[in-house]
Amino acid sequence: MVGPKPARRDRAGEGAKPMAENRSAHPDGAAAPIPPAKFAHAVLRTTRLNEMLEWYRTVLGARVVFQTPMLAFMTYDDEHHRLALAAFPGTVERPPRSAGLDHLAYTYANLGDLVSTYERLKAAGITPVANINHGMTTSMYYRDPDGNKVELQIDNFPDTESLHAFFKSADFAKNPIGVDFDPDELARRYRAGESAAELTRYRAEKGLNRATMARLGE
């Protein structure tokens, strides 16, 4: 008489186990996209490597971790590099208003840090070309020596839920671009003790100044 068939054993000698659930699969069996764990770095081509290096050192407080005559890696935190600059032979200047990347954005922890950075850069002769309260952020836009825009910003809301909710608000529907502001006035009021909540409050009805819009689009 034939006995019951023994369970299949794996290499460790244990009974067969069911396959682990594929968490990345859709119900129809198709593989689901897996989002990246983080955004790591950006690379900019340049025709003026040394000038760009000095600018990003000043603006971001970045340090060079590796450099050759045509390549440099920089970081401002524990990431091995956040920005690379490449001066490859044959690189040419980009025509104005070209399609492609518009700007890089860096978020500061609070309004005090943003104001202090603005004041430090102004003393070094580096000033923003546009200043906009977008509702979700208060942002200052700068241009590096190659003309790339760099946005220094803070989040205007205390949590992610509030930030996401703003996109569905009547204020954002009324004005999805933003309201320009005077950075010197912002700094003065902040130093005088006015609250960050009041200084970053979104007033959609003011609209964005046409001159600011033109500078932002250049």
CA distances from 177 to 58, 182, 203 (A): 29, 17, 12
Residue-wise pLDDT tens digits, 52-94: 999 999 999 999 999 999 999 999 999 999 999 999 999 999 8
pLDDT value of residue 25: 55
Which domains are seen in the chain, by residue range? 40-92 (3.30.720.120), 103-218 (3.10.180)
Tell me how far apart the alpha carbons of residues 137 and 105 are, in angstroms, rounded to a whole number.
Answer: 11
pLDDT value of residue 190: 98
pLDDT value of residue 214: 85
Residue-wise pLDDT tens digits, 163-197: 999 999 999 999 999 999 999 999 999 999 999 99
Tell me how far apart the alpha carbons of residues 128 and 131 are, in angstroms, rounded to a whole number.
Answer: 7
Q: Nearest Cα to 150, choosing from 40, 50, 38, 42?
A: 42
Which of the pair, 150 or 97, is modelled with greater confidence? 150
Over residues 22-30, mean pLDDT: 61
pLDDT value of residue 150: 98
Residue-wise pLDDT tens digits, 90-139: 999 988 888 999 999 999 999 999 999 999 999 999 999 999 999 999 99
pLDDT value of residue 96: 85
With beta carbons less than 8 A apart as the criterion, state whether 71 and 84 touch. yes
Q: What's phi and psi for 143, nearest 5 deg?
A: -125, 130
Band (211; pLDDT cuts 50, 70, 90): confident
Residue 99's contacts (CB-CB under 8 Å, 6 or more residues apart) are none
SS (H, E, C) 138-197: EEEEEECCCCCEEEEEEECCCCHHHHHHHCCCHHHHHCCCCEECCHHHHHHHHHCCCCHH
Torsion, Cα 20 24 28 31, to 10 degrees, reads: -120
